[in-house]
Structure 1
Amino acid sequence: MGVRRSLAELRSEWRTGHLLVLLPLGLIVLISVVDIVISPDIHLGPLLAVAPAITASFAGTRLTALVGVLALVAQILIARFHGGLFTANHLTQIGALALVTAVIVAFCRIRERHGRELTRVRTVSDAVQRVLMRPLPEHAGPLRIATRYLAADDEANVGGDLYAAVRAGPATRLLIGDVRGKGLAAVGDAAALLAAFRELAHRHEDPAQLADALEASYQRHLAEVADAGQDVRENFATALVLDLPDDRPVIRLADCGHPPPLLLTPAETRLLPVHRAGPPLGMGDLAPVDRRTEEFAFPPGSTLLLYTDGVTEARNRDAVFYPLPTRAARLTPAATPCEFLDRLRRDLLGYVGGRLLDDAALVAVGREE
């Protein structure tokens, strides 16, 4: 069974890189022929180490080992043509090539093991994301919704940024938030906040009242975590709580220390002027909280963009923050919220050079005509 498995994996590696493997095989043939036909005082055999080294860049352990064995066979043939196999010079070359091949194969084996571990981590993080960050509905009443999540950690696709949507009667209630921290360390707090929102969104129509209920729930969560021995003195979450009724083209929101939404209409692109922002969730004990619901027009044909500070605090090589309103205005009009977020994601990653230093979440909501 072990031999069959090894042969099957070798065939799989061959199919994956069968064209690229022609390069190291061609080098083995070329180096061997040139070494044999030129002067016996010139030794090109050590160059055969290039063949397994090149193979390791695109193939796995077994194919790399096979190419290394072929290189050793070629070195032995060269030795036979140049004065015998057992001369000190040829034995040294064969030994050195065998040692280099063994090191390269060992490196491939370690790389494959790390690759499998990384795949397992990503599989777990994908499962966590599917459980916590349930996909938002593409249609909710007169609304069209799209989301994008950009994690700062390569190993994880979920972190401290969060969003959720709940249909409550003839309205859609939305939450977007940012838990302090990033990556897997913030997942627990994000999970608690998302679970509370999905339960409480059906009980409170007013966004300010819903935000107060989330504050109480989040405080209970932090108390439980503190009882378990974790330091939660600096744990908090910024959030926006929104209610978008089907029968009225308005945005009703309560701001808990979160960046204001961006409204894109055919006439203009502007940040909503939120005047009554309260403190982040989890900080209600530090000061009196008087959250108020604010209302803004949401005309048909417009797009509402919700985002986390991983977007607005992204910097380019000159340390200049990403100018979201200006850049977003250049990307409209887009046919759908999904298309708009695809354009915005490409523009953001291009601005920062391909990598964000903090998690970023984007939610685009379009109101149909």
Structure 2
Amino acid sequence: MTDRGALLRLVRTGRAILLLPFLGIMIVFALEQFGHAHRFTFEPALTVGPALAAVVSNSVWFPLAIGAAALGEAFGFAAWEGTLAKAVHGASILAIVLISLIGAASVLLRNRQERELADARLVSEVAQRILLRSIPERIGVVRAAVHYAAAAAHARIGGDLYEVVQTRFGVRAVIGDVRGKGLAAVETAAAILGAFREAAHQEQALDRVAGWLADSLGRALREHESEGPQGMDEEFVTLALVGVRADGIVEIVNCGHPSPLLLREGAPIRFLDPAYTVPPLGVLEPEEVRPPVLSLRLESGDRLLLYTDGVIEARNAWGAFYPLAERAPDCAVGESPAEVLDRIHADVRRHVGHNLGDDAAMLLLQYAPAPAPTPATLTALVHPRDADPLSRD
């Protein structure tokens, strides 16, 4: 392979950055030619080689190798200029050796930190799979999709929660937002999700599911209170519960959460507000949690958009909130639920101009019952041989 071909290969593989230390040494060499003519030296600048090597490579030996090359060039400069016995040469040699050793040590520490970060990300992925499980594209009579972005750097889970399950009472979903961030918020979200996955199958009335969650949250907050100074009255969870029956009847229970949006083709957007507002879970005693149940009938293709305040409270550089109600109407038809949420999230990012400062979750449920079987299909199911003339003897 030619030298040009080798260089192109480095560029294509993204390893051309490894040439920077060599480029730095070559620049110092060229400056030294200029300095020799004017009776001063650039020999101390050779430390740029091992310093750059520590930045661009994860190999411990690379700064040492570049440092060795820089030492060779330094001795060459000193022999050419007759400065082997001068203090500037000794200082340059010492500086190159120290920078090379420090560069190798920094690479070693950076590699260790990257391994620890990779382990932490692996634990985060496992926790996400346990707490925030993936949602299938279809659950019963519902097509579903979710989009979640955690605010914490390098985190994949946070204080927002969601779940969709198929029960004997229909498809049930929850979306919520735990006050605060960090590990405490994740623990509270885990308590809520665990309670929902049990209560959704046991309780027929959706408001009683909310009471079950409030009771579980109360126990979790009491445990937190016994472990630290933060009191029960300082933590709460906003959430919305949705139940979709096979006949298209949807029930919604809202506990201090942003109201879901009803997206219907050819109709204006509609906020599904409760008859009266109730505070988030954790504010009232569990036995006092009796939220109203909003009930309505869905048409085939109707979509329910549930979201957390991290979406609608996302601000741009001028302090304006993201106008979800203005951007959502065109999501009533067309793309699949997953594509809709991806597009909304990208739009929120454009509105803010950077990563979101709060956890943000969106859940989209589309009522899509299976088409009723035709008489020919029923005949084929009951008398398969009669339905297919080719199958007769």
Q: Which band: TM-score by shorter chain?
A: 0.7 to 0.9
Matching residue of 2:42: 44
SS at match of 1:20: helix
Q: Is 1:56–2:61 an aligned residue pair?
A: no
Matching residue of 1:4: none
Superposition deviation, residue 202 in structure 1: 0.6
More displaced 10-residue stretch of structure 1: 136-145 or 267-276: 267-276
Q: Output aligned runs, 1:86-125, within 5 Å.
A: 86-125=85-124
- Give the AA of the match of 2:20: L
Show CA shifts across 1:75-121 (max 9, x none): 22222222153332222222223333333443333333333332222
Q: Is 1:27–2:24 an aligned residue pair?
A: yes
Q: Output aligned runs, 1:1-369, within 5 Å.
A: 18-32=15-29, 35-36=32-33, 38-39=36-37, 41-62=39-60, 63-169=62-168, 171-228=170-227, 231-248=231-248, 250-267=249-266, 268-285=268-285, 288-329=288-329, 333-368=333-368
Superposition deviation, residue 189 in structure 1: 1.2
Superposition deviation, residue 170 in structure 1: 6.2
Structure 2 regions of 5+ residues with no counterpart? 1-11, 370-393
Structure 1 regions of 5+ residues with no counterpart? 1-14
More displaced 10-residue stretch of structure 1: 263-272 or 203-212: 263-272
**In the aligned structure 2, how far is the partner of 1:222 from the partner of 1:92?**
63
User: What is the count of residue pairs matched by the alignment?
Assistant: 356
Matching residue of 2:6: none
**In the aligned structure 2, how far is the partner of 1:69 from the partner of 1:316?**
51
Show CA shifts across 1:249-304 (max 9, x none): x3211111111112222223332233233221122229944322111343222322
Q: 1:286 and 1:202, CA in 2 relative to 1: closer, same or farther beyond 3 A?
A: closer
**In the aligned structure 2, how far is the partner of 1:202 from the partner of 1:331?**
31
TM-score by length of 2: 0.82
Q: Percent identity?
A: 38
Superposition deviation, residue 228 in structure 1: 4.5
Show CA shifts across 1:157-211 (max 9, x none): 2111101111102621001111111122211111111111101101123211211
Q: 1:147 and 1:68, CA in 2 relative to 1: closer, same or farther beyond 3 A?
A: farther
TM-score by length of 1: 0.87
- Give the AA of the match of 1:87: K
Q: Check whether the contact 1:159–1:185 (CA below 8 A) recurs between aligned residues.
A: no
- For the aligned residue pairs, the C-alpha RMSD in angstroms reads 2.7
Q: 1:42 and 1:366, CA in 2 relative to 1: closer, same or farther beyond 3 A?
A: farther
Q: 1:332 and 1:87, CA in 2 relative to 1: closer, same or farther beyond 3 A?
A: farther
Q: Check whether the contact 1:180–1:235 (CA below 8 A) recurs between aligned residues.
A: yes
Q: 1:332 and 1:346, CA in 2 relative to 1: closer, same or farther beyond 3 A?
A: farther
Q: 1:185 and 1:220, CA in 2 relative to 1: closer, same or farther beyond 3 A?
A: closer
- Give the AA of the match of 1:255: N
Q: Check whether the contact 2:50–2:96 (CA below 8 A) recurs between aligned residues.
A: no
**Which structure has the larger Rg over C-alpha atoms?**
2
Q: Check whether the contact 2:251–2:295 (CA below 8 A) recurs between aligned residues.
A: yes
Q: 1:243 and 1:71, CA in 2 relative to 1: closer, same or farther beyond 3 A?
A: same
**In the aligned structure 2, how far is the partner of 1:193 from the partner of 1:302?**
28
